[in-house]
Amino acid sequence: MTTLPPLAVLGAGSMAGAIVRGLIASGVDPASVAVSTRSAASAAAWRAEGVRAESLEENPHANAGVVGGAGAVLLGVKPAMVVDTLREIAGALDARAVVVSVAAGITTATMEGVVPNPVVRTMPNTPALVRRAVTGVVAGSRAGDAELAIARAIFQAVGTVVELPEERIDALSAISGSGPATFYYLTEQLTETAERLGFTREEARLLAEQTLVGSAELLAATGEEPAELRRRVTSPKGTTERLIAVLDEARLADVFERAAEAAIARAREMARG
């Protein structure tokens, strides 16, 4: 297994923060991770977790400050900030460091146009925090086996890795990058339905959320196909059969396809800047 080099993380918000915490949960030494944050309070919170942290509030050069000595630099800033952030750190980057981006829509070619380093583009998801992420990984033109192995090692420590060509990553993002939002949205909808059926908010949340968690655990534990697990819930001529018939009528597959196409179109807009 590839040993992770010292890691610098620029912008440790929802996504990169989940990755760092997932890495620490996997046994990575927090002292081998350096984080730059916007606020001093956030940097202090990371220091309390044993991570080296600098904030832009205390030091406007915090981004360049944390990349020195790093063998891998994880870009966790918003897509619109990626190019500016790379410009900021270009002079401080170790020549051999691999730049790993999680940004939606920002191509490897765009990043390679700003820094001379090898670049890997990824699309993880927030279950990284509990080491259950699915991450799409794309090698840039300068990333060789060693750089790809580092990126793979980072994301395998927090879940499962899928390697794919760059033209497929926006589609992967629509399914797994945004996917946690899809499942939480469904859970919210089911909670509201339960409330409309007369349950209190607390009861409704319990019913919807525990059903999501229980169903996911059953899927993971049995390795059965969702269709088979669904069949076991659907008694012939029973209540679930009627329920699923209504969902079928609503053509959810078409709705999900339209939703995914909208996300893909947005990623392409973001790529154009």
Ligand X SMILES: O=C(O)[C@@H]1CCC=N1
Contact positions vs ligand X (CB under 6 A): 104, 173, 177-178
Q: How far apart are CA 134 and CA 47, in angstroms?
A: 28
Side-chain half-sphere CA neighbours of 255 within 13 A: 8
Q: Any contact of residue 129 with ligand NAI (CB under 6 A)?
A: no
* Residue 147 CB, nearest approach to ligand X (Å): 23
Q: Any contact of residue 159 with ligand NAI (CB under 6 A)?
A: no
3 binds, among ligand X, ligand NAI, none (CB under 5 to 8 A by kind): none
Which parts of 38-97 interact with ligand NAI (CB under 6 A)? 38, 56, 63, 76-79, 81, 85
Q: How far apart are CA 143 and CA 32, in angstroms?
A: 22
Beta-bridged to residue 161, according to DSSP, are: 135
Q: Which is nearer to ligand X, 92 or 106 (CB)?
A: 106
Q: Any contact of residue 118 with ligand NAI (CB under 6 A)?
A: no
166 Cβ contact list (under 8 Å, min separation 6): 107, 108, 121, 138
194, 203 Cβ separation under 8 angstroms:
yes
Q: Any contact of residue 267 with ligand NAI (CB under 6 A)?
A: no
218, 229 Cβ separation under 8 angstroms:
yes
* Residue 245 CB, nearest approach to ligand NAI (Å): 33
Q: Any contact of residue 136 with ligand NAI (CB under 6 A)?
A: no
